[in-house]
Structure 1
């Protein structure tokens, strides 16, 4: 399955902003009550701001022009009260939406991380780690900023605009219509330009992800950069992606700032229309000075929020571009679904069977072609072959890190696809050449993902290790189970491999795969591990992938993997002969 996010982005159908917002709100159904509460506060805030201009107009016509200063004080007190209500509601609005925004960020990142946990290894192979991190951190924060800072301002300004527009038309419909003409033109301009601005922001976010990915990759491999003195290559790669990000950010910034001058120009035209048309109406005796004052205030109440919306709309487009990138991941489904199988079990006498298995990586050449073999319980099998021949791919299919393109793999007679993840990982152990450990202690890493020993004490774990023949390995760590595992410098690669070995063996799997598992271990430790392997339960099947011949000489059967085929190699001498022939042919 294709999980390449860049390619999926190009193929992705454009989603309307309304539909995108609807999907976003579905992630926070528990916030519906708070959102309605915030909306109610916004309406109160907008109403209080719209009453003030009308009170000022009445004060001019009924108090200022008549000299009724006592009434003027009442009008002034009423206007002050509306301003106080507006300030109070503004505070509560900011407080409520700030809380909603933070909870949304929490929920969104949780949803995104949980989705990443569900996706297969193929997704991570096809995408850069830095770009994924950028989506989890940077893109979700864009949405949080919009919700906590911009959304309610946006809705509040829209409410004030609508209210001001209604007041303009109610007071004088002809003057109101003329005043709103620039607003209609601005609205049409916004509809036309918004998709282009959203696209510019999406490209900018993508280049930010690429920049993050390049930094992450370069720093991860910095030892190699130093060892080969290729800082120039590091600088060149970084300079390229940094320039791309700079260019995209400049273009996005120019696009985002396009609305502000256009909206400002529209507001100025509207003010000019009000003054010219309004004064002509006053001269004709069809309008009062107080109403003109109110009208100017309402025109400002319509166009000033519109200018603020220009900036808020930019944030909205940026948030929607970020949501598009996030929803790409949320919409993905794992291609390793659990399948209910009702067929009669096959190959009952074999612990593992390949039946007409074909495999190709996405958009790649076929790696395995029509593979058929059986592995018996309790035996040791070795997979040998040239680099790139398909050994690790075969092991990955056995562990169900990938599914065959076609054909079936059986584990204990059942289709491998029918096992749950928990069942499969309990039955199949996989020790990689480069093990991954978490920050914590040796004990934390040994018991990682093993629910059977979740609350085991140090003493109980040492006893378990002793019964499994693993206790002697603890002597390799200066503080035993409580040795801290913090970073690459805290323990050696060989020690990491030992921890991964202990973690896998302690599960007592039916099938244990060792993919170059002893490549980074010294000879003494390797001999120690070999003794432990011989103490495994008799029904445990071992699959060993190795280049060193001494690690496979005790195998019951050897398979040679190359040219898309998996064939029995016979004895160790025959396997060596095949390897030599293959090297000469290549």
Structure 2
């Protein structure tokens, strides 16, 4: 599966609109009311110029002021109704747009939750945030504000065209000729406008990504006194964003002067032709005034459509960026258990002729095979970049092997659902992630059984697991506030929390990927004691560079250059590591 979001996504306007309307299910009643209100507005818009022309010919020129006041009051009433319905329509579509935005953001975010680690390795989080936040809002703005105005303008223009052709078809046809040139211009320029908006949105996403990465790593930037690098990098992406935004702005505003020019040409045509018809006795002054009003009503929406069409092109570009995410599917599919491989009993984890390569990268593991037994402790040692963490990631099914099969309890690991697999396997990373909230919320994450416990039951479960001493290290216990984006707790404390979270799951396989790297020796001894209290059948897989962490392992595997080789004793493993360093 290609998880690169920067690939070009092309979709026709009609196809894009059909997919967008999928997120407006349940809004049929609101859309129907809005459509009715729009038709009422169009009818008022059509009727008003005709009444003005009628008033001029029958009352003003004949100086009949009584009927003039009555018709003027009628016009005022129509305008009041028009204003009220416009407000109601805007309020109605605003609600529809916000509900659509809510559904769309939920679907995009839920889709991201289904995608594998490989997707997030290839895409920057800042750009993903921009797609979830900015691009969805762009689509919402079009639906809540622009779409009804767009449709309203179309109905008004069609109504005006019918009126002017029915009043005087020759003058009406002449007044509509410039609209043909506008249509040709739109068809020619729209793809270019959409492309410029897509480039601008991509640059905006890159800007968000650079800001997010810079702020996230700002401590390192300060430590190395490289604010200048951050400034230069930001200035570069900001300048790129500025240039693409200016280009997109020029493209979006190109429609307005062109539409305005042809609108003025149309009014000149009507004025010249209309005066000629009056001289010939074929037309009246009132009808000419009505006609001029109708031409303005026809081309004024066209000028609005210039801005609305630019908004539509921006929304289409934003939708393309969103639909790339929505079209993705995880390549970590659950396969049928009956079609999977079965290994000999007695192994909790087994690799059978496994090879693996990262996307667009070299092969990390080459046809490796090994078994891990229940209740044993295994250590993976080797040089940095040798494939230790990759091996652990395959055991946890963060990735699938390129070739071969990984087995868990004698079953192809691909046959386990996500819930089944995560219940069997605990994974403590070197840099654990915490959620903003409380310590309680963080250790309950992904553990529905603990989630059903009250406070006393949870504290007892923690004590039974031997974790109460770790909990005591937090001043407010389970109510300790945590902030994922701030240093409210140290990295060592974060690892303690991740440790508590994993141990409480009682997994059959526990993977510790440098999980004690940022913990003091005293705490590490405490963690070792807790690990010894795990059920006898729990298999420990430890990746560590500290000798005391792996010295009690039942078996040590040396991982390097794509090979996983049984190393026997700790001394033998250290000799292999030393020889590898000397050889390199």
What TM-score comes out, normalization by structure 1 length? 0.97
Asked if residue 453 in structure 1 is aligned to residue 479 in structure 2, the reply is no
Per the alignment, residue 137 of structure 1 pairs with: 133
Shift of 1:420: 0.8
1:59 is displaced (CA, Å) by: 1.6
Which of 78, 91, 96 is matched with 1:95 structurally?
91
Cα distance in 1 for partners of 2:489, 2:187 equals 59
* Cα deviation, residue 75, structure 1: 2.3
Residue 97 of structure 1 and its aligned partner are, at CA, apart by: 0.7
> Which residue in 2 is equivalent to 1:207?
203
- Corresponding residue SS for 2:472: helix
1:77 paired residue among 73, 79, 92: 73
SS across alignment from 1:205: helix
Q: Which residue of 2 aligns with 1:434?
A: 431
CA distance in 2, matches of 1:173, 1:585: 92
Specify the alignment match of 1:345 in structure 2.
342
Q: Is the 8 A contact 1:385 1:579 kept in 2?
A: yes
Counterpart of 1:349 in 2: which secondary structure? coil
Shift of 1:519: 0.4
Shift of 1:486: 2.3
Give runs of aligned pairs for residues 368-383 of structure 1, distance below 5 A.
Answer: 368-383=365-380
Give the equivalent residue in structure 2 for 1:3: 3
Quote the residue 1:181 is aligned against.
177
Structure 2 gaps of 5+ residues are none
Report if aligned partners of 1:347, 1:353 keep a CA contact under 8 Å in 2: no
Is 1:324 the equivalent of 2:320? yes
- Aligned match of 1:300: 296
Write the deviation string for residues 445-492 of structure 1: whole angstroms up to 9, x where unpaired.
Answer: 111110001132232122112211222212221222222222542211
User: Per-residue CA shift, 1:514-564, capped at 9, x if unaligned?
Assistant: 000000000000001111111111110010001111111111111111111
Matched, 1:105 2:101: yes
Give the aligned partner of residue 362 of structure 2: 365
Task: Report the equivalent of 1:472.
Answer: 469
Distance 1:103 1:584 in 2: 64
C-alpha separation in 2, matches of 1:322 and 1:276: 45
Matched, 1:21 2:21: no
Q: Corresponding residue for 2:43? A: 47
Deviates more, 1:262-271 or 1:450-459: 450-459
Q: Greater shift after overlay, 213-222 or 474-483?
A: 474-483
CA deviations on 1:391-441 (whole Å, 9 max, x unpaired) are 101111111111111211111111111111111100000000011111222
CA separation in 2, counterparts of 1:291 and 1:401? Answer: 75
Matched, 1:263 2:259: yes
CA shift, 1:80, in A, is: 2.0
Whole-Å separation in 1 of the counterparts to 2:380 and 2:82? 75
Q: What is aligned with 1:309?
A: 305
SS of the counterpart of 1:206? helix
Counterparts in 2 of 1:538-549, with a 5 A limit? 538-549=536-547
Mapped partners of 1:452, 1:100: distance in 2: 39
Query: Aligned residue pairs: how many?
Result: 582
Q: Give how far 1:83 is off.
A: 1.3
The Cα of 1:70 is off from its aligned counterpart by 2.6
- CA RMSD of the aligned region, Å? 1.2
Partner of 2:579: 581
What SS class does the counterpart of residue 388 from structure 1 fall into?
A: coil
Q: Distance in 1 between matches of 2:98 and 2:478?
A: 39
Distance 1:265 1:442 in 2: 65
- 1:496 paired to 2:494: yes
Which one of the candidate residues 558, 565, 568 is aligned to 1:567? 565
- Say whether 1:67 aligns with 2:52: no
Residue 239 of structure 1 is matched in structure 2 by 235
Q: Which runs of 5+ in 1 are unaligned?
A: none
In structure 2, the residue corresponding to 1:188 is in which secondary structure? helix
